[in-house]
Structure 1
């Protein structure tokens, strides 16, 4: 019998497709172009032998992995740890300044928001739980740009703010693990959409 450390687990981090902006973070839906991109993502992932689909509770993340779930006959399991980082519970006039500040100072947080460290910790805890419970399997995770990069950053510091800025919507990265050790990262598909 193989030990846990010898079992390769493949995690497909799926950054959500383009959504319709609203202040309601939980229920923001995909745009029509986002829905089309989610179908394309399903086409790409349908033959990857994915056994489990997990998603942030946010509607745009769920909708991005929904076509894959339908095609492969899988349920979508919600994991709070993969929700997007909360920048602030107040309106911030200058988003670019606000997001730059939290990346420059990892323990800094805006009023009611999460610091990089706090968001990263919950994201990594969620990932470790998945690796423990689904060792040796292939898992798709519907998530968001900031929390996705914070998780990747905890595994390899080269994935940082500049990396986040070049992500598209959706974007898919395959992370391959031996046990809890990351040994390979591959960008397997991206769309042409940018922005939140």
Structure 2
């Protein structure tokens, strides 16, 4: 089957980054749905917080329960500004925040293609990347679940998301200044799941 867009190969980067990039595209799609088309404040910090909340809500999913927290985004640590998926954080640092089709900055997310082709890029990944469709479906359904809990969460500022993440027990119990302690998927799954300030 032919690609819908002529984008560079998606599979040259490490597997967690491929899933993270798909997550970013779906998150941008959510942002575009809920806000002015020009708003794009999906910074590194904001995306890390939204990744945490997406992974957390997946722990409650009846389909593929906790697949994201158990298998894909399973190295959350308690940083000063809330939970951070440390593998993703480190891989982004090594790659200067550049992925196959996205560059994350400290202010926004930049696409390597015209933003009007976002849906086509997502379709290409789903059909041509060879990524596990159950994981892609879990990312998509978890973002939808998160949106159903609080459709405006994606519009929160990065520091409002930090404030929200600081209300979670799993971060509070794990955070010690200067130490990046693990936040287990079980402690995330046991949360009361707070998704609004």
Shorter chain as normaliser: what TM range? Answer: under 0.3
Q: Which structure dedicates a bigger proportion of its chain to strand?
A: 1
Q: Which structure dedicates a bigger proportion of its chain to helix?
A: 2
TM-score w.r.t. the length of structure 2 is 0.24
TM-score w.r.t. the length of structure 1 is 0.24
